[in-house]
């Protein structure tokens, strides 16, 4: 969700967009359990886990649109929204690595970047500096979501093993965009720090 100015007319924290975000957070443990309980057998639990992830990650755009269009953006939403996103995506990557379907180095690169940037943005938010998602960050999020969705859905059972090549290309693109957008945030952090130092 994007930022909004504070003040007397600020929306109450407990509104529809934030409720959707909280539901997304609560769905994460169920998703993790189903994926790991399937244990790589590609049974109904795997399909259910994949469907739950896709539905949950799709609600990010829904709650964001509602918040912006109805003036319901809150400080709580700014904190919970990235937490929900990172919990789902990072948790999915960790589970895929546990199942042996994704190299641990891929998971480590993405998770370290996601956690690091999220913590930095929250620290800046506490200082009164809102760091909006960059265009690179938004593209990264979309590609990550698509790559993870393809990795979760056992399409190889329907179309054949060649789909693993598609999964590999998508995940590679996600890694590249994750690193690239991370470097953009590092650049922004350096500029922000210089601006604070110059102001003093």
Q: Is residue 8 part of a domain?
A: no
- pLDDT recorded at residue 179: 92
Q: Is residue 94 part of a domain?
A: yes
- pLDDT recorded at residue 2: 41
**pTM over the 0.85 mark:** no
- pLDDT recorded at residue 115: 87
Q: Is residue 79 part of a domain?
A: yes
- In tens, the pLDDT along 82-113 reads 788 889 999 999 999 999 999 999 999 999 99
Q: Is residue 21 part of a domain?
A: yes
- What is the mean predicted confidence (pLDDT) over 167-174? 95
Q: Is residue 43 part of a domain?
A: yes
Name the residue among 21, 29, 152, 137 with its Cα closest to residue 77: 21
Q: How far apart are CA 141 and CA 86, in angstroms?
A: 10
Print burial letters for 48-83: b (CB count within 10 Å at least 16), e (below 16): bbbebbeebbebbeebbebbeeeebbbbbbbbbbbe
Q: Is residue 4 part of a domain?
A: no
Number of domains in the chain: 1
Q: 31 and 53 in contact (C-beta within 8 Å)?
A: yes
For position 39, which CATH number holds? 1.20.120.1760
pLDDT band at 197 (very low <50, low <70, confident <90, very high): low
Terminal-residue alpha carbon distance, the chain: 31
Structure tokens at 108: 């480590």
- In tens, the pLDDT along 111-162 reads 999 888 878 777 777 777 666 666 667 788 889 999 999 999 999 888 988 9
Q: How far apart are CA 169 and CA 177, in angstroms?
A: 12
Q: 180 and 164 in contact (C-beta within 8 Å)?
A: no
Which residue in this structure is represented by tokens 């979309």? 142
Q: How far apart are CA 194 and CA 77, in angstroms?
A: 28
- pLDDT recorded at residue 145: 93
- pLDDT recorded at residue 81: 82
Q: 150 and 166 in contact (C-beta within 8 Å)?
A: yes
Q: Tell me which residue range forms the domain holding 36.
A: 16-199
């Amino acid at each position: 969700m994007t930022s909004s100015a504070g003040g007397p007319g600020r929306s109450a924290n407990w509104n529809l967009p934030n409720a959707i975000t909280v539901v997304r957070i609560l769905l994460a443990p169920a998703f993790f359990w189903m994926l790991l309980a399937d244990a790589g057998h590609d049974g109904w639990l795997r399909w259910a886990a994949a469907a739950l992830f896709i539905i949950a990650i799709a609600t990010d755009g829904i709650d964001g649109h509602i918040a912006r269009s109805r003036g319901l953006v809150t400080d709580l939403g700014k904190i919970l929204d990235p937490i929900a996103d990172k919990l789902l995506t990072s948790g999915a990557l960790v589970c895929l690595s546990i199942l042996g379907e994704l190299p641990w180095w891929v998971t480590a690169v993405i998770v370290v970047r996601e956690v690091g940037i999220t913590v930095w943005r929250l620290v800046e938010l506490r200082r009164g500096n809102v760091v909006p998602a960059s265009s690179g960050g938004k593209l990264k999020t979309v590609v990550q979501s698509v790559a993870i969705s393809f990795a979760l859905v056992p399409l190889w059972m329907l179309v054949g093993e060649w789909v693993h090549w598609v999964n590999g290309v998508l995940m590679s693109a996600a890694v590249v965009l994750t690193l690239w957008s991370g470097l953009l945030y590092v650049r922004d952090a350096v500029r922000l720090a210089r601006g604070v130092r110059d102001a003093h």
